[in-house]
């Protein structure tokens, strides 16, 4: 729960602006502090045939955060606002900096919300509607984002984790529209100046994101799209005049730029307020080199059932198919040529949650990631080998403030 800590009435005219007295008296500034803490304690058991990894107990946080947010009403329906969200890891394991989570400065009104900063991309926000109370990546009750989008990239720029579509992008320009009869859209793009870190490379990476959404009563439908321009997702040799002799005989090994794309279609329906069913279908396309590409398709379904009173039961299942295309170079966790050995993977998870109050809950969960013979996806706690299986079982405590 967000608590309002301070409300200050601001009267008079703003310097350099002419405001009617009645409007000036209506101006207010508010500041809020809030956040959430989630503690996980579980047994992680990697079962890698002939490979590394030992059974171990793990204590860690999952998306713990504290935010400071402020808004000033400027009159005529316009407000200026800011938000700084930082990691709030009580276990001392996070290296995230101040304002490393969703943080921005912007203006909003009846026309929508325009803001600048470090924020979840439209495609990620659409997928989050599907996963609901499940995590995208954690080992106890997450993992579907790892399969569908190559894991997450938080506080990322245009040259960090280039194969990942589940992104919170730094230095981005964002616009979120109001709702028109249930329809709305979101758009974002990244700062073009980030390509300067590539030196003499001809690449000019940039990110574009767009989503369209519809809400009506218990129904939600969303379509998210993200495009990565010149991201070089497999880290191939970049074609330049200096290495033209290397690239020209074998264009399939070099990269002169390209577009990687993801489409995510989400549907959510709530039955009677107690049963929530949701799903996502995802398709990713990577231009790996000058003449090769990789396609990745997958889906996930989620069930959230508020059984009675404080009791809830949840289920998730996600699957990614064998990568396809003509690339011989692996992209992140998507292993090239793995289709001959079955290169897909799946996640299955179930948990029970007890709500002690509106702000505090306890959870018991089980999660399993199972790789096909040609895949090596990981829950992120131990190395994975092809055909391996990793499972986690334990508890979580959640608290919002």
Span of 79-93, 108-122, 383-397 with lowest mean pLDDT: 79-93
Residue 375 structure tokens: 């895949």
The domain total for the chain is 1
Q: Which residues pair with 127 in a beta bridge?
A: none
Q: What is the pLDDT of residue 127?
A: 98
Span of 178-182, 250-254, 302-306, 324-328 with lowest mean pLDDT: 250-254
* Whether residue 19 has pLDDT greater than 50: no
| Cα gap 182→217, rounded to integer Å | 9
CATH number at residue 174: 2.40.160.10
Q: What is the pLDDT of residue 59?
A: 94
Q: What is the pLDDT of residue 259?
A: 96
Q: Give the mean model confidence (pLDDT) for residues 75-89.
A: 93
* Whether residue 3 has pLDDT greater than 60: no
What's the full length of the chain, in residues?
A: 401
| Cα gap 144→133, rounded to integer Å | 13
Residues of the chain above pLDDT 90, percent = 68
Q: Is 338 helix (H, G, I), strand (E, B) or coil?
A: helix
Residue 296 structure tokens: 């990745």
Residue 31 structure tokens: 């500041």
Q: Distances in Å between the alpha carbon of 96 and those of 8, 103, 108, 132? A: 32, 13, 28, 24
**What confidence tens digit (pLDDT) does each residue in 330-382 have?**
999 898 876 667 889 999 999 999 999 999 999 999 999 999 988 989 998 88
* Whether residue 18 has pLDDT greater than 90: no
| Cα gap 289→19, rounded to integer Å | 57
Q: Is 158 helix (H, G, I), strand (E, B) or coil?
A: coil
| Cα gap 205→201, rounded to integer Å | 11
Q: What is the pLDDT of residue 105?
A: 98
Q: Give the mean model confidence (pLDDT) for residues 135-164.
A: 94
* Whether residue 83 has pLDDT greater than 50: yes
Q: What is the pLDDT of residue 339?
A: 64
* Whether residue 391 has pLDDT greater than 60: yes
Give the structural domain span for 199. 3-400
Q: Give the mean model confidence (pLDDT) for residues 323-327.
A: 90
Residues of the chain above pLDDT 70, percent = 89
**What confidence tens digit (pLDDT) does each residue in 265-322 have?**
999 999 998 999 999 999 999 999 988 999 999 999 999 999 999 999 999 999 999 9
* Whether residue 6 has pLDDT greater than 50: no
Q: How confident is the model at residue 7 (pLDDT cuts 50, 70, 90)?
A: very low
State residue 304 phi and psi, 5-degree precision: -125, 110
Cβ count within 10 A of residue 251? 14
Q: Give the mean model confidence (pLDDT) for residues 174-188.
A: 98
Q: What is the pLDDT of residue 249?
A: 65
Q: What is the pLDDT of residue 251?
A: 64
Phi-psi region of 92 (alpha: psi -120 to 50; beta: other; left: phi over 0): left
Bridge-based pairing of strands 237-238 and 219-229 is unpaired
* Whether residue 226 has pLDDT greater than 70: yes
Q: What is the pLDDT of residue 340?
A: 66
Mean pLDDT computed over every residue of the chain: 88
Bridge-based pairing of strands 293-308 and 324-325 is antiparallel
The strand ranges marked E within 164-273 are 166-176, 183-190, 206-216, 219-229, 237-238, 254-255, 259-271
């Amino acid at each position: 729960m967000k608590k309002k800590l301070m409300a200050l009435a601001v009267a008079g005219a703003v310097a350099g602006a002419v405001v009617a007295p009645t409007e000036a008296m209506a101006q207010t500034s508010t500041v809020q502090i809030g956040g959430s803490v989630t503690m996980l304690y579980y047994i992680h058991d990697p079962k890698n045939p002939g490979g590394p990894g030992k059974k171990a107990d793990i204590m860690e946080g999952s998306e713990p955060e504290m935010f400071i947010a402020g808004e000033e009403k400027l009159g005529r329906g316009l407000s200026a606002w800011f938000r700084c969200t930082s990691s709030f890891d009580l276990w001392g394991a996070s290296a995230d900096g101040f304002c490393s989570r969703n943080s921005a400065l912007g203006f909003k009104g009846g026309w929508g919300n325009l803001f600048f900063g470090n924020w979840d991309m439209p495609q990620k926000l659409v997928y989050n509607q599907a996963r609901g109370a499940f995590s995208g990546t954690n080992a106890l009750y997450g993992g579907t984002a790892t399969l569908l989008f190559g894991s997450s990239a938080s506080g990322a720029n245009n040259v960090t984790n280039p194969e990942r579509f589940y992104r919170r992008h730094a230095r981005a320009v964002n616009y979120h529209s109001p709702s028109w009869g249930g329809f709305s859209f979101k758009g974002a793009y990244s700062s073009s100046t980030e390509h300067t870190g590539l030196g003499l490379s001809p690449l000019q990476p940039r990110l574009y994101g767009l989503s369209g959404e519809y809400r009506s009563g218990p129904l939600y439908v969303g379509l998210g799209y993200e495009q990565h321009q010149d991201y070089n997702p497999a880290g191939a040799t970049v074609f330049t005049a200096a290495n033209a002799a290397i690239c020209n005989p074998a264009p399939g090994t070099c990269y002169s730029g390209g577009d990687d794309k993801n489409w995510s279609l989400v549907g959510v329906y709530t039955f009677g307020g107690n049963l929530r069913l949701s799903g996502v279908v995802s398709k990713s396309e990577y231009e790996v080199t000058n003449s090769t590409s990789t396609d990745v398709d997958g889906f996930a379904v989620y069930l959230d059932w508020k059984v009675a009173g404080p009791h809830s039961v949840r289920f998730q299942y996600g699957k990614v198919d064998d990568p396809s295309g003509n690339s011989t170079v692996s992209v992140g966790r998507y292993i090239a040529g793995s289709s001959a050995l079955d290169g897909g993977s799946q996640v299955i998870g179930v948990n029970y949650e007890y709500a002690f109050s509106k702000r505090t809950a306890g959870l018991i969960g089980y999660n399993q990631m199972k790789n096909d013979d040609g895949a090596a996806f990981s829950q992120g706690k131990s190395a994975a080998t092809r055909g391996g299986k990793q499972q986690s079982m334990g508890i979580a405590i959640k608290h919002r403030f």
